[in-house]
Chains A and B, each alone.
Chain A
Amino acid sequence: MTQLPGPTPKKLGLVIDLDTCVGCHACVVSCKGWNTENYGAPLSDQDAYGANPSGTFLNRVHSYEIAPKDAPAQLVHFPKSCLHCEDAPCVTVCPTGASYKRADDGIVLVNEDACIGCGLCAWACPYGAREMDMDAGVMKKCTLCVDRIYNENLPEEDREPACVRTCPANARHFGDFADPESNVSHLVAERGGIDLMAEQGTKPVNKYLPPRPKTDAQPEAEIDVLAPLLSPVATEAHGFLGWLDKTLDKLPGGAT
């Protein structure tokens, strides 16, 4: 079971638009909510109200600063969850067969009843996509909301991963990468979607759209449309202020 299935007819995954993400962490919260109440063991917290809170999350948002040489610095919010890799190293290392990649749609899942909690799959993942749940003692990971996307009890618009459904900025997109005409395939083609840490050879299914460069910042003079209206009207002081200006300049340390 922990052998990889080879090319799958469908390649379900996410496109994450780094240009659009505003870093609100709504996807983190909705993911935690859905996956605590549904598939598998709940995502537990430890010391949630104490001094050192920690917990299991399947999706986390990092924030990075890029400072280009000749443009203003940019803040990039960077959501990260399982990339459902084609060559998933987390699957093949599993000694029990608990970790597997589905042959029909490529989703990488953990059968929690067979997981011994050895943690080797988390070690094999370059992306930090797997976290051991400290209460349940089993490995947790993104299921691509497998219990939503095929769930006919949900209205059709809800049959996508919770993180995608909740994103207020529309920075997350769900679809089939095996279909060149799908929404996600178009996005990747148009925006130059990239693989994370491609040198690890994992062939991630999820793609990231790089932030659009903001190098076309206009010269300051053109931005400052109010400048002509705000320029000083009096360049030389007269009257009392003029006398004060000159007198103060004469004092030691004054302008020469």
Chain B
Amino acid sequence: MHPAPSIILFTTLSGLGFGLLTFLGLNMPDVDGWVLFTFFFVGFALSVGGLLSSTFHLGHPERAWRALSQWKSSWLSREGICAVAALCVLGLYALLAIFFDTKVAALGFVGSALSLLTVFTTSMIYTQMKTVPRWNHWSTPLLFLSLSIGGGALLAAQTAVAGLFLLIATLTQAFAFWGGDRRFKDRGHSLKTATGLQNGELRLFEPPHTGTNYLLKEMVHQIGRKHAQRLRVLGLVFGLALPTVLLLSQTVGHVLAGLIVVLHVGGVLALRWLFFAEAEHVVGLYYGKHG
């Protein structure tokens, strides 16, 4: 697809933000006052900033409130509801904890659960797409959740937890690359099933138009894929594997932690770009792609 920068930023930043909020709701780290305020500020800035940037790709952002209505069937709607609920509950928890020195554990726990649920619903928006076999797999929610928890733990200074979940993310990401490259063919999608034309060798003779269209720009877009292999290695090694090794082998001070955060966020941005740029949509078959 054509990866919209707003979507890459949203899923990466909000994933980190909700990951951090998950730990803050569980009182990890156990801090108070201005230190806690700073932690919550970063958590809310990332998650709310991410949510706001996601509205930039809408045709009608002013109607975004309507997206809260279809929780019965739509994962996007569920995501919106979970996000708003998580922010409200944790907002109240933070208010009480910072300004009234009262940590209501139950409130924090509910907020943490809602934060993780938000990340899960985000991942399900992509996982539900049968039209993109690469996404339509259980590894997608596992990847989103492990990245969010790992990155959140890193920001919350929980180095051991961060190392563990980034290890899971590394393995999941490697598996997702490996399995994702095969899935389109394995599912049996081809120009023959797309057109029902079975008898003989089949090829696109002429596309429907001389120019381009929304579908081609949005879903069949191919630019930048030539660097995909290099980006995969860079993202996997520097964004996930190296931080994992550092977190699990060293006593991490502030400077090293800062470096790991930069490496990790840069790597996840690259990986998230790939997540979208490498998505092969079955509609491409009609345009002679993915054959």
Q: Point out residues on A near B: beta carbons under 8 Å.
A: 1-3, 18, 28, 52-57, 60-69, 71, 73-76, 78, 80, 89, 91-98, 114-120, 122-128, 131-132, 134, 136-139, 194-201, 208, 210-211, 213
Known contacts A2-B74, A67-B201; is A134 also within 8 Å of B66 by CB? no
11 contacting pairs across A/B (C-beta < 8 A): A54-B212, A65-B205, A114-B66, A115-B60, A116-B61, A122-B219, A123-B129, A126-B194, A128-B283, A194-B196, A208-B196
Nearest neighbor of A120 in chain B, beta-carbon distance? B76
Nearest neighbor of A71 in chain B, beta-carbon distance? B200
Which residues of A lie under 8 Å from residue B211 when comparing CB positions? 52-54
Nearest neighbor of B71 in chain A, beta-carbon distance? A95
Interface size on B, residues (CB 8 A): 58
- Check A89–B130 contact: CB distance below 8 A: yes
For the complex formed, measure the closest distance between the CB of B276 and the CB atoms of chain A, giving whole angstroms: 11
Q: Mark B197-237, 1 if CB is under 8 A from A, else 0.
A: 11111111111110111110011000000000000000000
- Check B207–A68 contact: CB distance below 8 A: no
Which residues of B lie under 8 Å from residue A18 when comparing CB positions? 197
- Check B205–A64 contact: CB distance below 8 A: yes
Known contacts A128-B286, A199-B188, A199-B189; is A68 also within 8 Å of B129 by CB? no
B182 close to chain A: CB less than 8 A: no
* Chain A interface helix/strand/loop/mixed: loop
- Check B214–A56 contact: CB distance below 8 A: yes
For the complex formed, measure the closest distance between the CB of B289 and the CB atoms of chain A, giving whole angstroms: 12
- Check B59–A63 contact: CB distance below 8 A: no
- Check A132–B130 contact: CB distance below 8 A: no
For the complex formed, measure the closest distance between the CB of B71 and the CB atoms of chain A, giving whole angstroms: 9
For the complex formed, measure the closest distance between the CB of B1 and the CB atoms of chain A, giving whole angstroms: 8
* Distance, CA A119 to CA B197, complexed state (A): 29
- Check A68–B286 contact: CB distance below 8 A: no
- Check A117–B60 contact: CB distance below 8 A: yes
Known contacts A2-B70, A54-B211; is A116 also within 8 Å of B60 by CB? yes
- Check B200–A67 contact: CB distance below 8 A: yes
For the complex formed, measure the closest distance between the CB of B208 and the CB atoms of chain A, giving whole angstroms: 4
* Distance, CA A74 to CA B222, complexed state (A): 30
Among A3, A115, A124, A211, contact of B197 (Cβ-Cβ < 8 Å): A211
Known contacts A57-B213, A97-B69; is A198 also within 8 Å of B193 by CB? yes
- Check B194–A197 contact: CB distance below 8 A: yes
Among A67, A89, A116, A125, contact of B58 (Cβ-Cβ < 8 Å): A116
Interface hits, B33-52 → A, CB 8 Å: none
- Check B132–A123 contact: CB distance below 8 A: yes
Which residues of A lie under 8 Å from residue B75 when comparing CB positions? 93
B251 close to chain A: CB less than 8 A: no
Which residues of B lie under 8 Å from residue A55 when comparing CB positions? 213
- Check B197–A132 contact: CB distance below 8 A: no
- Check A95–B70 contact: CB distance below 8 A: yes
Which residues of B lie under 8 Å from residue A117 when comparing CB positions? 58-60
Which residues of B lie under 8 Å from residue A125 when comparing CB positions? 131, 283
* Distance, CA A1 to CA B211, complexed state (A): 36
Known contacts A117-B59, A126-B130, A126-B283; is A62 also within 8 Å of B197 by CB? no
Which residues of A lie under 8 Å from residue B74 when comparing CB positions? 2, 92-95
For the complex formed, measure the closest distance between the CB of B76 and the CB atoms of chain A, giving whole angstroms: 4
- Check B207–A197 contact: CB distance below 8 A: no
B92 close to chain A: CB less than 8 A: no
Among B59, B61, B203, B282, contact of A197 (Cβ-Cβ < 8 Å): B282
- Check A78–B214 contact: CB distance below 8 A: no
Which residues of B lie under 8 Å from residue A196 when comparing CB positions? 193-196
* Distance, CA A131 to CA B238, complexed state (A): 38
Among A97, A123, A138, contact of B66 (Cβ-Cβ < 8 Å): A97
Q: Mark B3-34, 1 if CB is under 8 A from A, else 0.
A: 00000000000000000000000000000000
Among B63, B187, B195, B203, contact of A96 (Cβ-Cβ < 8 Å): B63
B67 close to chain A: CB less than 8 A: yes
Which residues of A lie under 8 Å from residue B218 when comparing CB positions? 119, 122-123, 132
Known contacts A2-B70, A117-B60; is A131 also within 8 Å of B77 by CB? no
Which residues of B lie under 8 Å from residue A75 when comparing CB positions? 205
* Distance, CA A131 to CA B125, complexed state (A): 19
- Check B129–A210 contact: CB distance below 8 A: no
Known contacts A54-B211, A197-B282; is A97 also within 8 Å of B70 by CB? yes
B185 close to chain A: CB less than 8 A: no
B73 close to chain A: CB less than 8 A: yes
* Distance, CA A101 to CA B268, complexed state (A): 38
Known contacts A93-B74, A131-B215; is A65 also within 8 Å of B66 by CB? no
Which residues of B lie under 8 Å from residue A118 when comparing CB positions? 57-59, 67, 76
B191 close to chain A: CB less than 8 A: yes
Which residues of B lie under 8 Å from residue A71 when comparing CB positions? 200
- Check B63–A114 contact: CB distance below 8 A: yes
- Check A199–B76 contact: CB distance below 8 A: no
* Distance, CA A97 to CA B132, complexed state (A): 23
* Distance, CA A198 to CA B190, complexed state (A): 11
Known contacts A52-B212, A95-B74; is A66 also within 8 Å of B200 by CB? yes
